Amino acid sequence: MSFYEFGNDLYWNTLLKQIFAGQLKHRLSLHGPCIATNLADPTDSHYLAQYKQALELAAKWQADFIVVHTNEAFQGDKRSVQSLVKQRLNELFALAKGYPIELLIENVGLRNKETLLFDWQDYCDLLATFPAAGALLDTGHAHINGWQLPQVIEKLGPRLTACHLHDNDGTADDHRPIGRGNIPWKPVFKAINTFCPETTLVFEYAKVNLETTLASMDDVFNNYCVTTQPLIKSDDVIK
């Protein structure tokens, strides 16, 4: 996975050519703007321009999908902010119709940081509102917010296009490798294998090197009988 906001012209125009040189088919997904762009901020006037550029880059490199954050921090009445985000998502999906790229809505926000705009039922309602959207489940966010991951995966089923996999202790979103927090992973992977075996697994680790990420991937595939397609994404590796 590549972050739209972390890449520069050298990355998008030169380095990716070298990375994919000689490959008949590559796997790439794109994380949409989420640092300088906030759909929940009524003063943000550049979100459409940022997503248009992200869509053009995704189309150029034949990315599988673009990840969309509904919000970062937000202020004001929760329902009013949800309405604003839905209005802007409508604009994004209208824009995306001109590109061969699927948009995935990620579960974002943390209850203990007061940034959780769409809790579980709100997230389900949001997906029902946007039938063209795929779901992206971030396991770390869900764990901190008290979501029961196996039941969430069963509910989302084939709608679950991708998962961001990382661990934590239920208090901080620190993107640890699997097994270094307290998420019960066996029922999680059992649910993935049962209800959405085609989902893409994105290993979204922070403060680890490539060797640690690859070793963690081997552990997952050897010990949990995972049959889905992986994408490597480690903050320290990508940046």
pLDDT at 227: 63
- The type of residue at 136 is L
- CA dihedral for 39, 42, 48, 50, sign (positive or negative): negative
Q: What are phi and psi of 208, to 5 degrees?
A: -135, 160
How many whole angstroms separate alpha carbon 166 and alpha carbon 139?
6
- DSSP code string of 125-183: HHHHH-TTPEEEEEHHHHHHTT--HHHHHHHHGGGEEEEEE-B--SS----BPTTSSS-
Name which of 189, 237, 193 is nearest 214 in CA terms: 237
How many C-beta neighbours within 10 Å does residue 94 have?
A: 10
pLDDT at 53: 95
Half-sphere exposure in the Cβ direction for 204 (13 Å, CA): 26
What is the mean pLDDT for each group of 10 consecutive residues in the chain (239 residues)?
Answer: 83 85 77 95 97 95 94 97 98 96 97 98 98 97 98 97 96 96 96 94 92 90 71 47
Q: Are 34 and 5 in contact (CB under 8 A)?
A: yes
| Domain regions of the chain by residue span | 1-103, 133-239
Read off the pTM.
Answer: 0.92
pLDDT at 25: 67
Quickly count helices (H) and strands (E) in the chain.
10, 8
Q: Which CATH superfamily groups domain 133-239?
A: Divalent-metal-dependent TIM barrel enzymes (3.20.20.150)
Residues 6+ apart with CB under 8 A from 10: none
